[in-house]
Amino acid sequence: MSATALIADTGQSRRKSLDRLRRADKLFHGVTFSSAIFVLGLLSAICVSLIIGAWPAIKTFGFGFLTSQSWNPVTEKFGGLAPIYGTIVTSLIAMLIAVPIGFGIAIFLTEACPKPLRRPIGMAIELLAGIPSIIFGIWGLFVLAPFLQTTVQPALITTFGSIPYLSALFEGPPYGIGMLTASLILAIMVLPFITAVSRDVFDTVPGVLKEAAYGLGCTTWEVVRNIVIPHTRVGLIGGIMLGLGRALGETMAVTFVIGNAHKIHASLLAPATTISATIANEFTEAVGDLYTSSLIFLGLILFVISLIVLSAARYLLWRLERRAQGQGA
């Protein structure tokens, strides 16, 4: 074979290889693009189906559905204020409890925990995240609620009963079940997610930064406050939003312990309800199009609340990234 023919054959083989790589790259691009479009299409389909299912209730009650506590299947008068209030309040209380404890556990595991204990404690936290929610609900109903009824709630009523404003939050008989119990269950359920994410992002902090701070004479608390948390704040907010999303949509555990009362009380000890608990309790027995549509309307509201929370978190993360880039420049 002459040199010219050899060069031509080599060039042809190279073109074939390049064509094959281009086709594979186009196929890969098409598959990934289709996957992204599928997710957007699925999200849009869910939103449209919720709007269609909720339309009879939207047309009948309008904005008044969001401001009314009425929930009477007999007269077909429905309002979503009580479950909306219960969903938001229980989730916020759960986050107020779980976030400091989760950060504390993560800081202990990464900065102060002896090495032989890090893996067992970390595995225990991960196992806690895998417990089914119905198990938390059963435990809350038969163990936590009686304990709160006989010990914690009477103590709260006695302690805050004479303090203005706070007395309204802890008044009434100690039922055991109620908004406070549901918030504690939610806090326990979201704690593993916040702790795991916080621990992982704390581990990403370069060791040289912490060693330099310790070399300057900083304490562990000063290193955590001035080095670890500022370096990982974006990841920490992501972990908080992950836990908040879990708290907003939790169903079975809350249904067991919240009391399922369609009424707003100032007291955290009183029975209440959430959107998820209302749908789970009543969807199978919903009779009539308006009753079913009202429950779907509640699902649409929960969808919107979750979307607003995630959008606000995304915006906050974007602001933090812009600020970090500005400081770096």
Q: What is the pLDDT of residues 128-170, one digit of tens each?
A: 878 888 899 999 999 999 999 999 999 999 888 788 888 888 8
Both tokens assigned to 184: 């504690």
| Every domain of the chain and the residues it spans | 1-61, 67-328
pLDDT averaged per 10 residues, the chain (length 329): 58 75 87 91 91 92 90 89 93 93 90 84 82 90 92 90 84 89 93 89 86 85 88 84 85 89 89 91 85 93 89 79 64
**Helix, coil or strand: residue 71:** strand
Per-residue pLDDT tens for 108-133? 988 888 888 888 888 888 888 788 88
Q: What is the pLDDT of residue 111?
A: 85
Q: How many CA atoms lie within 13 A of 51 on its CB side?
A: 7
Fold of 67-328: MetI-like fold (1.10.3720)
Q: Which of 178, 316, 140, 319 is nearest to 240 (CA)?
A: 316
Q: What is the per-residue pLDDT for 238?
A: 82
Give the separation between CA 69 and CA 122, rounded to whole angstroms: 43
Give me 194's structure tokens: 């916040």
Average pLDDT, the chain: 86
